[in-house]
Structures are given as C-alpha cells and as structure tokens.
Amino acid sequence: MAGYFGTQRQQDLQAQAEKNVDLIKATPGACQNGRMIGVDDLDALGWDRIDEFLARDGVCGFRLIPAHRAGEIGVRLAERNCRFDTWDLFLADRTSALDACEPILAAGLPDGLSDLDQPTDPEGDDTARIQALIAEAGVVPFSGSFLVGACGPAVTMAVGDQNGEIVAAAHGYMPHNAHSPYPGHGWGGLVAVAGSQQGKGLGKYINARVLVGVLRDLGATHVYELISATNLPSRRMAESCGLRHEPGLVCGIAAPTESGKFTR
C-alpha cells in the first residue's frame, strides 16, 4: 500500500493510518479517519487508548460524538496540551440523500466535461492528480491506497475536461466498524474543484456523485460530511444534496495546542 502525498508529516500519518486498518476494524470505539486513527465511542475505547494514539501520532480524530461531551473532550485535551478543532456534522438518511442527489446527476455536466473512471493504482498518475487537486483546495488528501479502496471499500470520483485535466474530485468510504453505534454511516468529502471551473455547479455535482456511490456501491444507510461553521459554500452544497446540520453530534481533531489547524 502506498501513494503518499503532501508534507512529510502528512505522509507519515498516511502511512500510520494504513498500518492501523486492521486494528481499527477490530477495536470497539475506534473508527477510520483516513489520515489518522479516530474515535466514535469514547466509553468503548477509553482515554488510556486515546492517550496512546496522541503520544504516538500527535493527533486523533473524533467522529459522531454526542455534542454534550464536547466540553469534556476539550478539558481532557487541554490537560494534554492539545486543543479540539471541531466541524459541524451534515447528515442524511439513504432516502433523503438519494432523492436530492439523483436529480443533480441526471441533469448532467456542462459541455466539454465528463465523468472519469475511478482510479485503481495507488501510485498512478490519475491518483496523484486527484491528490494534487484536493491539496490545492486546502484539504489534506488521503493516501493513494485509501483513495483506490486498497484499505477498505471506498469510492473516488472525478470529472475531466476536454484536455484530459482533472477538474473536480471527491471521495467517500465507510469509517465505522461492526462494533460502532454507526456501522452503516458512510462519509463523503475531499471535495475539490479547479479554480478555472468554479461557478458551474461542479462541487454540487461531484459531491452528489460520491454520496450516491457511498450509498449504492458501499451500501451505506446514512451519509455524512464535516464542514466548518464559516464555510458557507460547502454548507449550501451539502444541503443541496439532502444533508442537514445535526447539532446533536460533533466531529473534530485533537492536535497540539501550538500547531496549526490540520486541514480546512
């Protein structure tokens, strides 16, 4: 497994995420964040294990945690010289997402653009170009192995122009193991659109395409996305695809207090 991309720190975490695949599948309370190990059940995993991951990786993800426990997480992380960067959760059940997304796909793409095949080679040129586009959008990419599904079921969608350039991309996968309170919840994200193609509805289109892939190809019962409170275009994009803000759950990343935000 390979196809690492980004800074050395980002690549090191991508490599560690690949090593964690079997551990995450087998461990109650753990979930797959793609770039790092994650937690979706604080009580099942426990703070001793979270401390281990923070000591080893310097970061740890939190997914679908009851919002009333965010304060507890913040306090415990502060004791460890870490902070808790959070994103709002946008969520939809299968029917709501498909009812919103399928008409978007049926409307098709602007002239000169076409859907591309999903990448299959972790180190292939198409995979690297997708990673580069995602990075240009200010988002830390996943490894090539994650993008092509070598680390578990996943979908990576892309749109190309007449010149063979990749102008939009997004990714989705199933983060939660069989022990999770949310085993059927799939994640969509890493949405990126080339600057030259913005304003054409490509973000909404590629987002809809990846969510439909997570639901139909991966069998998810629900889909969710993580969006910052200030990212109004992405919030509108998610809502157009049938997702709604779920204030009862919170997602985030624990990172050293003195570090910058891990991703957009």
**Per-residue pLDDT reduced to its tens digit, 141-170:** 899 999 999 999 999 999 999 999 999 999
Q: How far apart are CA 247 and CA 116, in angstroms?
A: 35
**CB-count burial class (<10 Å; 0-12, 13-18, 19+) for 42:** middle
Q: How far is CA 11 from the centre of its chain?
A: 16
Share of the chain above pLDDT 90, in %: 89
| pLDDT exceeds cutoff 70 at 1 | no
Domain map (residue ranges) of the chain: 8-256
| pLDDT exceeds cutoff 70 at 19 | yes
Q: Measuring CA to CA, which residue among 74, 217, 240, 106 is closest to residue 225?
A: 240
Quick one: pLDDT at residue 258?
85
Average pLDDT over residues 190-215: 96
Quick one: pLDDT at residue 154?
98
Share of the chain above pLDDT 70, in %: 98
Average pLDDT over residues 201-218: 98
Kindly indicate the confidence band of residue 80, based on its pLDDT and cuts at 50, 70 and 90: very high
Q: How far is CA 81 from the centre of its chain?
A: 26
Average pLDDT over residues 52-56: 94
Residues 107/113/115/119 CA torsion (nearest 10 deg): -150
Quick one: pLDDT at residue 10?
87
Average pLDDT over residues 88-101: 98
The mean pLDDT of the chain is 95
Q: Residue 249: what residue type?
A: L
**Poorest-pLDDT segment among 5-9, 50-54, 97-101:** 5-9
Average pLDDT over residues 105-127: 96
Average pLDDT over residues 244-255: 96
Q: Measuring CA to CA, which residue among 11, 251, 238 is closest to residue 131?
A: 11
| pLDDT exceeds cutoff 80 at 2 | no
Quick one: pLDDT at residue 49?
96
Residue reference for tokens 């997402």? 97
Average pLDDT over residues 206-220: 98
Q: Please tell me the class of the 8-256 domain.
A: alpha beta
Length of the chain: 264
Exposure string (b/e) for 115-150, b if CB count within 10 Å is 16 or more? bbebbeebeeebbbbbbbbbbebebbbbbbbbbbbb
